[in-house]
Amino acid sequence: MNASHQPLSRNESQGVSATTSSPTTSTTKGGRWSIWIPGLLALFALPLLLAGNPFYIHLAVLICLNIIFVNGLALINRTGQLSFCHAAFMGMGAFVAVICTTRLHTPFFVSVAAGVVASMVIAFLLGAVILRLQGVYFVLVTFCFGELFRLVLLEGGDLTGGANGIANIPPASLLGFTFDSKLAFYGLAAVCAFLSIVLLISLFKTPKGNSLDAVGDNPDLAEASGISIQGSQMFAFVLGSAFAGFAGALLAHYLGFVSPESFNQHISVAAIIMLVIGGRGSVLGPILGALIMTPLPELFRSAIETQNIMYGITLILVLKFLPMGLVGIGAKLFGKGGK
């Protein structure tokens, strides 16, 4: 797929040529994470000071899970793709893990691993069919797949619980410890979110990570340099879907309930909004997007129309004044390229 025809590609949003390094990408590659990682550790530890308020701990858990979820979408977008079925893979990880836990009575770790593997396998099979599509065609097919997956869950009968979903999911348990409280589960979610960030940082310091950026920045030049465009996009699509499946499996065991409507197209759109607002082409972008956008649905839960208006206004303002997202503010403060 030619990234130059893909909606919301990084180069289009930043208004720079494909041969120009983006500030956010340079920042990621430039090793500034020796500053950011201690800050992230402090950020993850902050909710512990609010342990007396279950609502804030709940928000902190959702933020951590959204970081993992949006990290997967950000990885896919690094190669110029924009997936509208990201929530489907989140649901796939959730339902496979829950079915393993409730029907097969497998341990938590095995159930989560099964959910992640299932997401990766389906992503590979889907990617083999759709990765040759370009632009709006890729977007439409992923949108249709997400809706098809939701309908399959609705018609799944006793296996998926149909419209009623699956309830009474046992809490997560690992190494003899049960994460049966919000605070305990926050510890698990924070560790998983932090590891997902470290994994992406490590990936984009490798030649494989550089090839993903090359495909997203200038696919023609990348192909001329011997980089497989479809191979790179497949790698990003499968690994990004694995992130979504992992987040879904954790979310299901945290809430103790899953239903098909928990993973509809609104979830995919919300992830895209988080990514755009935080800043694409940067590991920091999904973190900022999740931090800003996760609390909004909770604050405006009683007014869905107001929530959608806030989403729309925020997205328009960011696209107009901060095409690189919130990460672009840091890039301007630290100078071009973060140097």
Residues 69-82 have pLDDT tens digits of 999 999 999 998 88
Residue at 63 is within a domain: yes
How would you classify residue 281: left for phi > 0, otherwise alpha for psi between -120 and 50, otherwise beta?
left
Domain of residue 171 covers 3-266
Residue 297 lies in a domain: no
Contacting residues for 149 by C-beta, under 8 A, at least 6 apart: 85, 88, 91, 92, 263
What is the rounded distance in angstroms from the CA atom of residue 4 to the CA atom of residue 7?
8
Confidence at residue 9, expressed as pLDDT on a 0 to 100 scale: 44
The whole-number pLDDT of residue 327 equals 82
190 in any annotated domain: yes
Indicate whether 117 belongs to any domain: yes
Decide if 281 is inside a domain.
Answer: no
Compute the average pLDDT of residues 289-307: 75
Q: Residue 5 and residue 2: Cα distance in Å, rounded?
A: 6
Share of the chain above pLDDT 90, in %: 47
Question: What is the per-residue pLDDT across 20-39, written as a single tens digit (0 to 9) for each?
Answer: 333 334 344 444 555 556 66
Mean pLDDT of the chain: 82
Q: Could you report the per-residue pLDDT of 194-227, keeping only the tens digit for each?
A: 999 999 989 988 999 999 999 988 888 988 888 9
| Total of domains in the chain | 1
pLDDT in tens, 96-154: 999 999 999 999 999 999 999 999 999 999 999 998 887 788 989 999 999 999 999 99
- Domain assignment present for 86: yes
- The b-or-e profile of 238-274 (16+ CB within 10 A means b, else e) is bbbbbbbbbbbbbbbbbbeebbbebbbbebbbbbbbb
